[in-house]
Chains A and B, each alone.
Chain A
Amino acid sequence: MPRRLLGLLLVMPALAVIALLFILPLVMSAVGAFQLNGGWGLGNFAKAFDLYLNDILFSVGIVSLSTALIGFGAIAIGGYLTLGAHPVAVTILRWLYRWPMFIPFIVVGQILRTFLAKNGMMNNTAISLGLMTPIDAMSFLDWRGIVIAFVWKQTPFVALLVAGAMASVNREGIEAAVNLGASRLRVLVEIIVPQVTATLAVGLILSFVTMMSVLSVPLMINAQSPTMLTADIAFRVNAYGDYGVANALGLISLVLASSVAWIYLRISLKERA
């Protein structure tokens, strides 16, 4: 048997799993979005925009804000790990920042719900430190809670990728700039970050897609309106068995996620040209 054929035979079963259990349902959802009672059309999308336009904008806003904060945090952590002057401080940070990465989203939702609640530990600590009075205590379990949960969970992942890329940036250029008197912040922004944009973009796009598809965090932290599209999709299916509108909402979130990837591809192609 030729080696190529043997290789394909060995890979085929695994590929078939992806094709049958992911690509087929993905196509079904894209087709189902245009399926109406006894025909085809854009009715599901009209209904989706009619009922959930606020939630679509809300989702885009939340995920964009979270992505920006994650990027900022990842650069700050990676930058300190690369340029930090004090080895002990760098070691502390390296040990500290990774923990949330290992914690499942469903657990993140639960523990932040108790932490950020009106009588949660965050407010209680601020009160006992005298930073605020019990009357000022307010719940963060709205859009802020979702953003905090996303940033809490995803920043370590992107920081890990970015720190790895920063570690492989040529040290000579950095040292030359430092010797010429450039501040470390300037070295980070002007020399290091431009060299790790590809890694940063990959990490942020993966985070963007992940946040667009997480159901547990919005369900646990804030399921009232306005909420994330994922909660709406689950609601459409569970409460009404309305697969048409659910699929339309799914296609909308797919388009949103892939447009981010597309923008990234455009920028990176332009840079290479």
Chain B
Amino acid sequence: MAGLRLNLSVLWWLPRGLIFGLMAFFIFGPLFNMALWTVTEKWYFPHALPLEYGFSAWARVFAPRGGALQSLGNSLTVAVLTVIVSLAFAIPAGYALARLKLPLRSLILLAFLIPQAFPNLTVYVNVARLFYEIHLNGTIAGVVLVHVSHGLVYAVWIATAAFSAIDVELEQAARSLGAGAMRTFRDITLPLAAPGLMASAIFVFLESLDEFTGSYFVGAPDVNMLPLLLYTAGSGGNYQVASITALLLLVPSLIFMLIVERFLKADVLSRVGR
């Protein structure tokens, strides 16, 4: 009897293996396909695998006139600036939302979700029109502003959670020892909130790096960014260049997502959006 039950439970691995195998194929298949394209020299129908492998596409992408270095530079500049500007707005806002009694607090929190909760394509079209009037269209500053409006929800929500996870008594102790409000904030509150703020910086950075629609309308064709390069290469049928660009966009996403759990502790996570 016991042997029969053991056999039955082993048999369960058949459907499990089949379903997990199919899932793995559909999840990792496209990624593997992309990885193959990055090192393909020659590949056409009906061959299941590339006929020749090589790195000539990499050389072309990273050649001085290949455009990738410039796009990569623009993308990183915009992402870093977006993080700085977003945190400059989000740290005071998050502190106020966490510590000071605000009227309509939950409505204010919800307001930052608006850019994620409405279809944003027409908004970017009209932002581009506005920016055109004030000469911000086609500039790094214009793209940064668009990315900030989109990334603020992460910055503000996570910063608020990070500040409210800090024990108030630590701040009160510093104050009673004679530290001023600013000094308490700088020496006690800010260092304690740093891991949470780091997590919000990571989210904002990734949002900015991967953003396509806003950059397409506000940045292109003057400010070239990686997603735009990927789009142009892909629609031109250049799958090697498109796949290499896709890989460049993918690696930071995966690395950051793997390490973000180190900065985003459960005590902060459980307070997000509250």
By beta carbon, the residue of chain A nearest B48 is: A124
Least distance between A188 CB and chain B CB atoms (Å): 16
Residues from chain B with Cβ under 8 Å of A120 in the complex: 33
Contact A11 B129 (CB under 8 A): no
What chain A residues lie within 8 Å of B227 (beta carbons)? 104, 106, 216
Give 1 or 0 for each of A7-26: 1 = CB within 8 Å of chain B CB: 11011011101100111111
CB pair A29 B45 closer than 8 Å: no
A230 x B93 contact (CB < 8 A)? no
A15–B111 touching, CB < 8 Å? yes
Closest to A249 in B: B122
Q: Are A243 and B115 in contact (CB under 8 A)?
A: no
A200 adjacent to chain B (CB < 8 Å): no
Q: With CB as the reference atom, state the residue of chain B lying closest to A248.
A: B122
Q: Given A103-B250, A122-B29, A209-B119, does the pair A114, B101 have CB atoms closer than 8 Å?
A: no
Name the contact of B152 in the complex, choosing from A18, A86, A89, A230 (C-beta under 8 A): A18
Q: How far is the CA of A88 from the CA of B251 in the complex (A)?
A: 28
B178 interfacial contact with A, CB 8 Å: no
Flag if B212 contacts A254 (CB, 8 Å): no
Q: How large is the interface on A (under 10, 10 to 19, 20 to 34, 35 or more residues)?
A: 35 or more
Cα of A209 to Cα of B117 in the assembled complex, Å: 6
* Inter-chain contact A209/B37, CB cutoff 8 Å: no
Question: Which residues 45-70 of A have a CB within 8 angstroms of B?
Answer: none
In the complex where A4-B100, A29-B123, A106-B227 touch, is A119 in contact with B30 (Cβ < 8 A)? no
Write the chain B residue with the least CB distance to A215.
B213
B235 touches A18 (CB 8 A): no
In the complex, per-residue mask of B112-140: 1 if CB is within 8 Å of any chain A CB, else 0: 10111111111111110110000000000
- Measured CA separation A32–B146 after assembly (Å): 20
Contacting B at CB under 8 A, from A203-224, are 206, 209-210, 212-216, 219-220
Whether A14 touches B257, Cβ cut-off 8 Å, given contacts A99-B27, A100-B27, is no
Residue of B nearest to A151 (CB): B26
Residue A37 lies at the interface, judged by CB distance under 8 Å to chain B: no
Q: Does B41 belong to the interface (CB within 8 Å)?
A: no
Q: Count chain A CB atoms within 10 A of each CB in B23, B32, B120, B156 and give the residue with the most.
A: B120
Give A142 Cβ to nearest chain B Cβ, in Å: 17
The residue of chain A having its C-beta at the shortest distance from the C-beta of B46 within the complex is A134
Q: Which residue on chain A has the smallest CB distance to residue B227? A: A106
Please tell me if A257 contacts chain B, counting CB pairs below 8 Å.
yes
Judge whether B111 and A110 touch: CB under 8 Å.
no
Tell me if A269 is interfacial: C-beta within 8 Å of chain B: no
Chain A residue at minimum C-beta to C-beta distance from B117: A209
- The CA-CA distance from A214 to B120 in the complex, in Å, is 9
Tell me which residues across on chain A come within 8 A of B246, comparing CB atoms: 106-107, 110-111
Asked if B90 and A14 make an inter-chain contact with CB atoms under 8 angstroms apart, the answer reads yes
**Which residues of B are found within 8 Å of A8, using beta-carbon distances?**
96, 102-103
A112 to chain B, nearest CB (A): 5
Smallest beta-carbon distance A4→chain B, Å: 6
Q: Is the CB of B230 within 8 A of A107?
A: yes
Q: Whole-angstrom distance from the CB of A94 to the nearest CB of chain B?
A: 12
B24-67 vs A, CB cutoff 8 Å, 1 = contact: the mask equals 11111111111001000000111010000000000000000000
Tell me if B195 counts as interface (CB < 8 A to partner A): no
A86 to B14, alpha carbons, bound, how many Å? 13
- What is B's interface to A at a CB cutoff of 8 Å? 9, 12-13, 16, 20, 23-34, 37, 44-46, 48, 89-90, 92-93, 95-97, 100-103, 108, 111-112, 114-127, 129-130, 145-146, 148-149, 152, 156, 209-210, 212-213, 216-217, 227, 230-231, 234-235, 239, 242-243, 246, 249-250, 253-254, 257
| 3 closest A-B pairs by CB | A250-B122, A104-B210, A7-B100
A-B contact pairs, 26 of them (CB 8 A): A7-B101, A8-B102, A8-B103, A10-B92, A11-B108, A13-B93, A17-B148, A17-B149, A18-B111, A18-B114, A21-B148, A22-B149, A89-B13, A93-B20, A110-B234, A111-B30, A115-B30, A152-B30, A213-B120, A215-B212, A216-B213, A216-B227, A219-B231, A247-B122, A247-B126, A249-B122
